[in-house]
Amino acid sequence: MLNSTGVQAFAHRGANNGVIPENTFAAFAEAVSLGYHLLETDIHASSDGVPFVFHDADLKRLTGDPRRLEDLSAADIASLTIHGNHAIPKLADLLEAFPETCLNLDAKSEAATAPMGRMIRDTGAANRVCIGSFSDRRIRMVMQAAGRPLCHSLGTAHAAQFYFAAQLHLPQRFSACCVQLPVTHRGVTLITKRTLAHARRIGLKVHVWTINDAPEMHRLLDLGVDGLMADDCALLKSVLTERALWQD
């Protein structure tokens, strides 16, 4: 999935800068209409094992329903709407609706891992996905269910190992294709020239989330990051176009 050269632009939960709700077909369609090929999203699974595109563990923020998504059947979830008129997408439908895109999929719970992996296997989407999670265990579980290695990022434990090895110039080897990080975490700046140089030495791309400020986008691009994730997809496209880095 991440074999292309140049800076990679990710539509974080689709194009959802406050106008279109996150993780909806409308948000992803807007991103695709802007020319995005990389869509970032989150996966939970229903109680009967159907993977859905949704970030939060419970449904309250976007639907008003306080229940947890994993406690509901797929039929129950299909009856709900985001902000009154947007369905909660199934992963299978998202893969089918945007066949020319690649998906960065964040496994939000262990319960989601097996349904995710099986869906990737059954739809032949292995070359279109990158698996992410705060948990290295979840990433392994997705690949186990898929029955094959998949492009994936570093989970939190391996990302911490990566960061400290960068400070000490220690050799490392990971099976991951990328590390996806915020600029800072708990007061520690993670995206520096040193960490970027270490990533290049060990063959990892560095993607930074979630950046919705043009000066910060420019600063990170000047540092040499490999990719940016943004909610404001029009802004990120504008910045990359200005720098002749946008890839149609």
Cα(239)–Cα(243) distance, rounded to whole angstroms? 6
Kindly state the greatest CA–CA separation across the chain: 53
Average pLDDT, the chain: 97
Q: Which two tokens stand for residue 168?
A: 């000490």
How much is the pTM? 0.96
Domain ranges in the chain are 8-141, 153-242
- The catalytically annotated residue of 12, 44, 86, 207 is 12
Q: Is 185 a catalytic residue?
A: no
Overall fold of domain 8-141? TIM Barrel (3.20.20)
Question: Which of 165, 224, 174, 228 is closest to 203 using CA atoms?
Answer: 174
Question: Which of 3, 8, 4, 39 is closest to 226 using CA atoms?
Answer: 8
Sign of the alpha-carbon torsion through 40, 246, 95, 177: negative
14: Cβ contacts below 8 Å, ≥ 6 apart: 20, 22, 23, 24, 26, 27, 28, 29, 30, 31, 39, 41, 233
- Please report the pLDDT score of residue 2 as a whole number: 65
* 230 contacts 9 by C-beta, under 8 angstroms: yes
Taking CA 126 as the corner, what is the angle to CA 121 and CA 127, rounded to the nearest 5 degrees?
160
Asked if domains 8-141 and 153-242 share a fold, the reply is: yes
Q: Is 12 a catalytic residue?
A: yes
Which CATH superfamily is 153-242 part of?
A: Phosphatidylinositol (PI) phosphodiesterase (3.20.20.190)
Q: Rounding to the nearest 10 degrees, give the CA dihedral for residues 8, 33, 51, 64.
A: 110
- Please report the pLDDT score of residue 3 as a whole number: 67
Which residues of the chain, if any, have pLDDT below 50?
A: none
- Please report the pLDDT score of residue 172 as a whole number: 94
- Please report the pLDDT score of residue 18 as a whole number: 84
